């Protein structure tokens, strides 16, 4: 769920499903969550939500005249979704797995508004306020957002490549990994061009004397600049409705995937940025691109999928980094993960990667020795322009991985039905 559009759609979802509903009692937190208990209790209260960038604020409002034992004051709880947070409203008998915070209705078979977050990177704050160092919302406070960027271009945040600056929530509250790729792709801005260089050009927009006002307006609308796209692109996702980028398979998620033009799209290139995050793009990486990095272009998608069902099934498919084309096969690669420990619920030793830098240990020989291969998502329209160098190794290496989702109908149904138990 987690970029600006998903948070905003979550707030809309909450307001829709909770409209006219009365909640009652205490707020329950799962045992496993390390987030704070929410000390709110009321015989009758209503819930509403608002979003700002990558945060959602829930307001719990007691109904007047319902407080016999000490008037409970209204309470705000601010949520950040981490990598997997979302809200879901379900019957109490069908609580989703990983429902870490639950608000119950006053009706008889109760229902519950749940904050669901399987990875538990999400956070909430009791009596919370918008995080202080996050900037204006790119979707709902566009003018303030734009001014906050253009008036602070001397900030060192803009010394970074534009693709990294776009993830800085102090200036781009709401932009995340798929949005930065989609936004830069629309203008074909090299992701590793210096942010300040790209943004300074927007301070003094070139005039077009001679044009009528309406012509100028039209021109502007048809040629949005980078900051306008930081508003428009996420708004496109909001207007699609549904849940945006989420794990549930549905017509909505299929529409979302069809909407993506760059992120995880076959034919696009990808690199790890300075923070180890994958940036998807087309064309040149730009002057500040990490050197000796592994680029991975994709490979052409071979078997085109023609079957509709397959398209739905398809989804993502990631690919694998190391490519066998180079003879890299033998090297295990030196990255290893520090397995910390922890995990009371089971002894898990998880992993996670970090920087893509040394992916291919010895391989620095010139060209990109590897090929990752992205995925296969809905078919893009005829991929007309490919990039220059698709000249990867022969067709070799092209394995795709398919992240999540399974069949549309069945998956959704299956997911819905099971999931009764909570942690």
Catalytic residues: 2-3, 54, 337
* # residues contacting DNA (CB under 7 A): 66
> Which residues inside 51-70 make contact with DNA, applying CB under 7 A?
54
| CA gap 67, 42 in Å, rounded | 7
Residue among 31, 173, 34, 25 at smallest CA distance from 111:
25
Cβ proximity of 75 and 60 under 8 Å: yes
Applying CB under 7 A, which of residues 14, 47, 163, 167 lies at the interface with DNA? 167
Residue among 11, 13, 37, 10 at smallest CA distance from 26:
37
Closer by beta carbon to DNA, 1 or else 114: 1
Cβ of residue 153: shortest distance to DNA, in angstroms? 20
Looking up tokens 């202080």 gives 132
| CA gap 403, 263 in Å, rounded | 14
For position 380 contacting DNA by CB under 7 A, the verdict is no
Segment contacting DNA by CB under 7 A, of 144-152, 191-199, 206-214, 404-412: 404-412
CB neighbour list of residue 182: distance below 8 Å, 6 or more residues apart: 233, 260, 261, 262, 263
> Which residues inside 219-248 make contact with DNA, applying CB under 7 A?
244-247
- DSSP three-state, residue 15: helix
Applying CB under 7 A, which of residues 157, 228, 406, 412 lies at the interface with DNA? 406
For position 350 contacting DNA by CB under 7 A, the verdict is yes
Q: Residue 326 half-sphere exposure, CB side, CA atoms within 13 Å?
A: 22
CB neighbour list of residue 17: distance below 8 Å, 6 or more residues apart: 89, 113
For position 171 contacting DNA by CB under 7 A, the verdict is no
For position 176 contacting DNA by CB under 7 A, the verdict is yes
CB neighbour list of residue 222: distance below 8 Å, 6 or more residues apart: none
> Which residues inside 72-101 make contact with DNA, applying CB under 7 A?
80-83, 97-98
Taking each continuous run of H as one helix and of E as one strand, the counts in the chain are 10, 10
For position 392 contacting DNA by CB under 7 A, the verdict is no
Closer by beta carbon to DNA, 50 or else 62: 50
Closer by beta carbon to DNA, 22 or else 83: 83
Binding site for DNA (CB under 7 A): 1-3, 6, 32, 34, 54, 80-83, 97-98, 118-121, 123, 131, 167, 169, 176-178, 244-247, 274-278, 317-318, 320-321, 333, 335-338, 340-343, 345-346, 348, 350-357, 359, 399-406
């Amino acid at each position: 769920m987690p970029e600006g559009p998903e948070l905003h759609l979550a707030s809309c979802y909450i307001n829709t499903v909770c409209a006219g509903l009365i909640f009652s009692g205490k707020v329950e937190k799962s045992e496993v969550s390390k987030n704070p208990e929410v000390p709110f209790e009321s015989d009758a209260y209503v819930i509403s939500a608002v979003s700002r960038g990558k945060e959602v604020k829930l307001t719990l409002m007691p109904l007047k005249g319902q407080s016999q034992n000490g008037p409970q004051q209204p309470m705000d709880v601010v949520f950040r979704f981490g990598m997997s947070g979302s809200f879901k409203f379900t019957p109490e008998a069908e609580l989703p797995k990983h429902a870490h915070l639950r608000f119950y209705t006053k009706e008889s078979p109760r229902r519950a508004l749940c904050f669901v977050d399987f990875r538990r990177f999400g956070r909430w704050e009791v009596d919370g306020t918008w995080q202080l160092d996050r900037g204006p919302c790119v979707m709902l406070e566009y003018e303030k957002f734009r001014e906050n960027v253009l008036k602070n271009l001397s900030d060192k945040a803009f010394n970074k490549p534009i693709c990294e600056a776009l993830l800085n929530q102090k200036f781009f509250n709401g932009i995340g990994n798929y949005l930065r790729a989609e936004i830069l792709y629309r203008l074909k801005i090299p992701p590793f061009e210096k942010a300040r260089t790209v943004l300074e050009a927007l301070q003094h927009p070139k005039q077009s004397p001679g044009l009528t006002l309406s012509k100028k307006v039209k021109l502007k609308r048809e040629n949005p600049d980078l900051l306008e796209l930081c508003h428009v692109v996420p708004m496109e996702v909001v207007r699609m409705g549904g849940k945006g980028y989420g794990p549930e398979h549905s017509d909505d998620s299929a529409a979302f995937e069809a909407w993506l033009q760059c992120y995880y799209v076959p034919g696009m290139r990808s690199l790890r940025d300075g923070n180890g995050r994958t940036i998807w793009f087309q064309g040149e990486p730009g002057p500040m691109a990490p050197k000796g990095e592994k680029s991975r272009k994709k490979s052409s998608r071979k078997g085109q999928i023609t079957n509709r069902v397959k398209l739905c099934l398809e989804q993502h498919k990631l690919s694998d980094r190391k490519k066998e084309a180079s003879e890299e096969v033998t090297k295990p690669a030196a990255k290893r993960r520090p397995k910390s420990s922890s995990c009371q619920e089971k002894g898990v030793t998880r992993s996670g990667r970090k920087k893509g830098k040394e992916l291919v240990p010895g391989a620095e020989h010139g060209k990109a020795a590897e090929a990752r291969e992205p995925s296969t998502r809905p078919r893009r329209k005829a991929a007309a322009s490919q990039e220059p160098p698709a000249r990867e190794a022969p067709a070799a290496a092209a394995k795709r991985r398919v992240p999540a989702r399974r069949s549309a109908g069945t998956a959704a149904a299956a997911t819905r039905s099971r999931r009764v138990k909570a942690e």
